[in-house]
Amino acid sequence: MAELESVALFQGLNPGEWQDLRRIARERQFAAGQEIFREGDPGNGVYVIRDGLVEIAHLTDLQNRRVFSRLGPGEIFGEMAVIEDLPRSATATAVKDARVYFIPRDEMLALLKRSPGLAFNVLQEISRRLRDFNQLHLREIIQAERLAVVGNFARSILHDLKSPLTVISLATETLDRPGITPEKRAQSLGYIHQQIDNIKGMIGDILEFTQGAATPAAFVSADYRQFVTGLLPGLEADARVKSARIELQNDPPAVPFRLDARRLRRVFFNLLHNAMDVMPGGGAIFLRFRENDREVVTEMEDTGPGIAPEIADRLFQPFATHGKPHGSGLGLSICKKIVEDHGGRMAVRHEPGHGAIFYFTLPRAKNVDGSKS
């Protein structure tokens, strides 16, 4: 039997957070053979097993089911509902009589925002599950022709999670230091929330690509200078993890755009991580901007070796990658799609004595009278 206090996920909570957790956790009982939730049900919360045994399975067709895992006391399931607001992707069934704690999604999200330590524990658990899931599939398709693609794709997901998890870990350590100032606490909390948003964006991008259905765009009017300035602290925090630095060579133009902030943010972070991958020993990443009466051009240049000739012609194609130990080649194709959805275009160039220079354009917003802003 596992009481809430013994569950590893909740270790490190302070007394106030424990009080909140006990208040929102609801105990439920399921008889052997009873479904806890079914594939396709709304992802409405997280479950923690108090006692019993729970099986997680996926229906491969109308008659066959594929068992992914069996979980016992102290283990959690349904945790992806905290990150993504999508239907359940598997069915959970009580193999033996089971008692579980159920934590509704909205209340769990509210607790995560108040508890950086719990947020970090949840992200570590998700990373572990992805790794276990990857290993399971690698064993089963070892003879399949798609092994290399599937393996690289899965490793890329785990690799991309390392950077935000590291930033969250460092920020959490800062919060634990005695005598931390309110300003430093607020800054660290800001880093944590931004990295959680980054991970949610990564998952959304992967789901959008693999499911073949685009997420509805959420375009709003925004000042481009304010948008980019707001991204810089998170970009700089990610760069420091890899001993890299970001240099803003000129100010972003203060012009209005219609943009989807969540998706366009992914373009900046994907390009940043792409640059850091080719500079394992650290380096500089330059950001600069230029504009004309039609569009604004954003450039990101690194001090790496530049674009390899073997990959130049298919750089933005899915699964195209070269010279990196990790990477599925999805990042740049996702970037290109996002920019094109904004009405712009994306390309890369190489100049002698320089690293890769990626750039993208965004069309200037039209005023009511049809003129450009």
CB 78 within 8 Å of CB 100: no
Mean pLDDT of 343-366: 88
Among candidate residues 168, 187, 211, the one where a domain is terminated: 211
Please check whether residues 234 and 318 belong to one and the same domain: yes
CB 44 within 8 Å of CB 85: no
Q: Residue 156 sits in which domain range?
A: 120-211
- 370/157: higher pLDDT: 157
Give the model confidence (pLDDT) of 281-305 as tens digits.
889 999 999 999 899 999 999 998 8
Please check whether residues 54 and 97 belong to one and the same domain: yes
How would residue 218 be classed by pLDDT, with cut points 50, 70 and 90? confident
Among candidate residues 114, 131, 161, the one where a domain is terminated: 114
If you count them, how many residues does the chain have?
373
- β-pairing, 283-291 with 244-248? parallel
> What is the reported pLDDT for 215?
54
Amino acid, res. 362? L
- Identify the bridge partners of residue 355 per DSSP, sorted by sequence position: none
The enclosing domain of 250 has a CATH number of: 3.30.565.10
> What is the reported pLDDT for 161?
72
> What is the reported pLDDT for 100?
95
Whether the per-residue pLDDT at 7 is higher than 90: the answer is no
Rounded to whole angstroms, the Cα distance separating 187 from 164 reads 15
The mean pLDDT of the chain is: 81
Among candidate residues 211, 229, 249, the one where a domain is terminated: 211
Please check whether residues 90 and 134 belong to one and the same domain: no
Largest CA distance in the chain: 69
Q: How many domains does the chain have?
A: 3
Rounded to whole angstroms, the Cα distance separating 128 from 155 reads 12
- 308/189: higher pLDDT: 189
Rounded to whole angstroms, the Cα distance separating 339 from 68 reads 37
Residue 216 covered by a domain: no
Please check whether residues 206 and 239 belong to one and the same domain: no
Candidates 94, 96, 97; CA nearest to 77 is 94
Whether the per-residue pLDDT at 80 is higher than 60: the answer is yes
Candidates 101, 92, 116; CA nearest to 21 is 101
Mean pLDDT of 153-178: 76
Give the model confidence (pLDDT) of 320-347 as tens digits.
554 444 444 567 888 888 899 899 999 9
Rounded to whole angstroms, the Cα distance separating 192 from 230 reads 15
- 82/154: higher pLDDT: 82
